[in-house]
């Protein structure tokens, strides 16, 4: 995925574009570039490397012009090189274009254009777009018409923005599947991949939907349908996120900041409108089958939710990884699909939801990003209100999603009679206390986690083990570990471990056990038995648990005793902190681990 931005203004736009690119870097950070139009000439500067470095070397800030576009790239087609960086310009330099998405028929288009003497300078799919516009412009002489014609030629996904010397006051942009929004300023308007692009300038946005294109100048914006050219009117959405929140706020990394924000994101999750939660419950109770959808972290969220629902409502909802959904799901018009997505743009989850809709199934989603594609495409979108999550690894958004799902499970349990009134009340009380307990874990255990990370930095292989819901927690904690440290970590359930995985154990192999509070005595004892098995094979064992020391571990971190609703979440927070400190000690790029992007919007 990539980040795009465009600004048209009554003053120089380059410095603002650079700030936008910095805020968009989490969407892609292998190359970047700007195109600014001034006095009938488009100046394109781009290279591989982070925004800060490239913009200093190429002096982005000195570019003159009151209209421009910018791009941060996360390579999908074509290697990371200067030539492949965006913006791409047409051969005569009359057009410059930035693009996010994948054009699947670009080879055919390229062949066609090359036969008409268009010179290709890059290996990207994007370059065909700019030449196609040029091609259509030569016959139509109308930029809007050229864009409409081009979009009919394209297979695949796109959000693009284009500027032209033929119309130096307007930015043209369009989307199919990839995200795009419009931002409204004073004497200045913007387009961007998401709100981060424009957060520093305005809070007023208009989401652009699939199959639409927009034309903006510094005073007005218009949205039209790509096929019919029909004009569309849409309301302005005012974002209530504080731009301060989007910056690191003094923390060394976004990940640590976002871990620290979890008490307040859980508080926001507890304030989510009960009407919406009740509506999901209605749908669940009336459905013939309920799927929980997520991929990566959100799949493990779905797994946790599966356990919470079984415990609190006596119901088995089926967690499926979005990418495998089509191959396994059995859907009808009475089915319900409940998806989890931080960005609301996750390609695999969107595809799965669209697949479910074909069968007439109901769709609902718990989403963090307002105005995202999933919000408009699902029957019910529950906004989790966690604020922007910038670190590529999801921490606070995942914990907030779990919180909302616990509320759903509790309501289900109450309504189906699975929970007695007093059980329901006491669980509700534990949930209300969760933010305080997370705050306490963060404020009282960080030092111990850092110590552990210091002592275990040489372990390159880990098993994360738990039973029951703790196996899901172990898998999510293991995902955090591998994402940010690049060390191998595998989450596995305690019973499963001896059916094969245990063969890996030797003294260079670390294992972390996620222990339930002793009130779940059977689960606790069974997990301890697994720990003994690994200990007897010389494995290095670590315990994350509650209350008194267990004594068998090489290293243990014990939190204050807790209840069965909060305990899994608290251990997940420990797991997040362990991944974080391990990565800091190993000097990894914490907020932007190699090969990862914040929201995966490609197949």
Catalytic residue among 2, 37, 281, 391: 2
Min dist. Cβ of residue 479 to another protein (A): 23
Q: Which is nearer to another protein, 290 or 397 (CB)?
A: 397
Min dist. Cβ of residue 256 to another protein (A): 7
| Three-class SS state of 304 | helix
- Catalytic: 281? no
Min dist. Cβ of residue 603 to another protein (A): 36
DSSP 108-167: HHHHHHHHTTPPP-SS-STHHHHHHHHHHHHHH--HHHHHHHHHHH--B-EEEEEEETTS
In angstroms, what is the C-alpha Rg of the chain?
A: 25
Min dist. Cβ of residue 183 to another protein (A): 26
| Three-class SS state of 353 | helix
Strand-strand pairing, 3-9 and 188-192: antiparallel
Establish whether the linkage from the previous residue to 349 is cis, with ω within 30° of 0: no
Q: Which is nearer to another protein, 445 or 520 (CB)?
A: 445
Q: Which is nearer to another protein, 19 or 136 (CB)?
A: 19
Assess contact for 101 and 151: CB atoms under 8 A: no
Min dist. Cβ of residue 406 to another protein (A): 22
Assess contact for 530 and 501: CB atoms under 8 A: no
Catalytic residue among 16, 46, 257, 598: 598
Q: Which is nearer to another protein, 88 or 260 (CB)?
A: 260
CA dihedral (378, 380, 386, 388) in degrees, to 10, reads 30
- Catalytic: 32? no
Assess contact for 195 and 370: CB atoms under 8 A: yes
Backbone angles phi, psi at 472, to 5 degrees: -65, -40
At which residue do the structure tokens 């989307």 appear?
A: 175
- Binding residues (CB under 8 A) for another protein: these are 249-252, 256-257, 260-261, 263-264, 443-451, 454, 558, 560, 584
H or E stretch at 188:
strand 188-192
Min dist. Cβ of residue 248 to another protein (A): 10
- Strands (E) across 350-447 are located at 362-367, 380-383
Assess contact for 5 and 34: CB atoms under 8 A: no
> If we measure between CA atoms, which residue out of 496, 563, 506 comes closest to residue 537?
506
Q: Which is nearer to another protein, 391 or 463 (CB)?
A: 391
Q: Which is nearer to another protein, 293 or 442 (CB)?
A: 442
Q: Which is nearer to another protein, 122 or 455 (CB)?
A: 455
CA atoms in the 13 A half-sphere facing the CB of 29: 22
Q: Which is nearer to another protein, 410 or 584 (CB)?
A: 584
Q: Please tell me the distance from the alpha carbon of residue 479 to that of residue 483, in angstroms, as a whole number.
A: 6
CA 509 to chain centre: 31
Min dist. Cβ of residue 474 to another protein (A): 22
Min dist. Cβ of residue 249 to another protein (A): 6
Active site residues: 2, 598
């Amino acid at each position: 995925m990539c980040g795009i931005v465009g600004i048209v203004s009554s003053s120089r736009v380059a410095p603002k574009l650079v700030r936008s690119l910095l805020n968009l870097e989490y969407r892609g950070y292998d190359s970047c570039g700007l195109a600014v139009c001034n006095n009938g000439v488009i100046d394109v500067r781009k290279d591989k490397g982070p925004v800060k470095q490239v913009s200093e070397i190429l002096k982005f800030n000195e570019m003159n012009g009151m209209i421009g576009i910018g791009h941060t790239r996360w390579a999908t087609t074509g290697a990371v090189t200067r030539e492949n960086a965006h913006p791409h310009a047409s051969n005569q330099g009359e057009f410059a274009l930035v693009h996010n998405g994948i054009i699947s028929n670009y080879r055919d288009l390229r062949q066609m254009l090359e036969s008409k003497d268009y010179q290709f300078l890059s290996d990207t799919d994007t370059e065909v777009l700019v030449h196609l516009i040029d091609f259509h412009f030569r016959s139509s002489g109308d930029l809007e018409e050229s864009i409409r014609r081009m979009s009919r030629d394209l297979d695949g996904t796109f959000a693009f923005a284009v500027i032209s010397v033929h119309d130096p006051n307007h930015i043209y942009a369009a989307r199919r599947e990839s995200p795009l929004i419009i931002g409204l300023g004073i004497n200045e308007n913007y387009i961007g991949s998401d709100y981060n692009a424009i957060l520093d300038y305005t809070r007023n946005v208009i989401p652009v939907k699939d199959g639409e294109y927009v034309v903006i100048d510094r005073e007005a914006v218009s949205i039209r349908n790509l096929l019919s050219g029909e004009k569309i009117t849409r309301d302005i959405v005012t974002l209530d996120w504080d731009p301060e929140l989007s910056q690191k706020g003094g923390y060394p990394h976004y990940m640590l900041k976002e871990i620290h924000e979890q008490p307040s994101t859980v508080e926001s999750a507890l304030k989510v409108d009960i009407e919406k939660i009740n509506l999901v419950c209605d749908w669940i109770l009336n459905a013939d089958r309920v799927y929980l959808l997520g991929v990566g972290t959100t799949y493990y969220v779905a797994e946790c939710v599966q356990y919470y629902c079984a415990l609190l409502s006596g119901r088995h909802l089926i967690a499926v990884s979005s990418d495998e959904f089509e191959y396994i799901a059995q859907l009808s018009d009475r089915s319900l699909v409940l998806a989890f997505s931080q960005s609301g743009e996750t390609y695999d989850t969107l595809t799965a939801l669209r697949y479910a809709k074909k069968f007439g199934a109901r769709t609902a989603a718990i989403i963090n990003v307002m105005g995202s594609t999933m919000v408009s495409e699902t029957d019910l979108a529950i906004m989790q209100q966690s604020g922007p999550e910038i670190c590529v690894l999801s921490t606070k958004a995942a914990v907030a999603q779990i919180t909302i799902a616990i509320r759903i499970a509790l309501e289900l349990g109450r309504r189906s009679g699975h929970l007695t009134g007093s059980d329901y009340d006491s669980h509700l009380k534990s949930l209300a206390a969760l933010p305080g307990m997370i705050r306490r874990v963060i404020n009282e255990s960080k030092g111990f986690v850092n110590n552990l990370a210091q002592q275990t930095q040489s372990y390159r292989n880990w098993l994360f083990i738990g039973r029951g819901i703790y196996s899901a927690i172990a898998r999510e904690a293991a995902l955090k570990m591998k994402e940010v440290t690049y060390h191998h970590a595998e989450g596995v359930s305690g019973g499963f471990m001896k059916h094969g995985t245990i063969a890996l154990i030797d003294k260079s192999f670390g294992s972390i056990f996620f222990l339930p509070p002793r009130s779940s005595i059977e689960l606790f004892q069974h997990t301890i038995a697994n720990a003994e098995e690994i200990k007897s094979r010389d494995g290095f064992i670590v315990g994350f648990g509650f209350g008194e020391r267990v004594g068998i571990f090489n290293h243990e971190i014990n939190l204050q005793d807790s209840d069965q609703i909060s305990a899994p979440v608290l251990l997940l927070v420990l797991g997040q902190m362990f991944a974080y400190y391990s990565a800091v000690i190993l000097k990894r790029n914490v907020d932007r681990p190699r090969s990862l992007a914040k929201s995966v919007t490609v197949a």
